[in-house]
Copies of this chain bind each other. A is one copy, B any other.
């Protein structure tokens, strides 16, 4: 094996910090949502994505692309959310294969109730500590990284023509 290009001190520093953020940020969001809404971050994200879809309804494959989940994982999670009465599964009238996850009133209420607390947490841990310029830089940088990590932009929902959030 040929000698690898090791990291410079600056690169190493940047990398370690980024990794620290990717380790700590999810658990921080997870903790807030679990505490205040009784949802995992993934469950919240699933509900939020559906809630922004027209008719508060979404096919699982589409949802899987947006949430970066395998269909298997999504199927299990949708099952749990269905048991909790936050959404319903129904077959698509157009395509017998696709099943649509549709928010119930309770599901919509859950999203409405939990969103403000979540947004507040995001402000506290990400946006507030940064200057406006840094927020713009962060956006640029992550955009660059996503060109490699997510070439099809499935997570940002660009291909389906709808904004995500």
Q: From B1, B11, B21, B123, give the contact of A5 (CB < 8 A).
A: B123
Contact of A20 among B24, B127, B144, B149 (CB under 8 A): B149
- Whether B16 and A165, one on each chain, are in contact in the complex, defined by CB atoms closer than 8 angstroms, is yes
Question: What residues of B have a CB within 8 angstroms of the CB of A7 in the complex?
Answer: 119, 122-123, 127
Chain B residue nearest in CB terms to A13: B139
Residues in B whose Cβ lies below 8 Å from that of A17: 138-139, 142-143, 146, 156
Is the CB–CB distance between A125 and B145 below 8 Å? yes
The A134-156 residues at the B interface (CB cut-off 8 A) are 134-150, 155-156
Hey, which chain B residues are within 8 Å of A143, CB to CB?
Answer: 17
Q: Is the CB of A18 within 8 A of B142?
A: yes
A130 within 8 A of B: yes
CB-CB under 8 A for A136 and B22, given A15-B127, A17-B143, A127-B15:
no
CB distance from A158 to the nearest CB of B (A): 11
Q: Which residues of B contact A124 (CB under 8 A)?
A: 148
**A138, B24: Cα distance in complex, Å:** 16
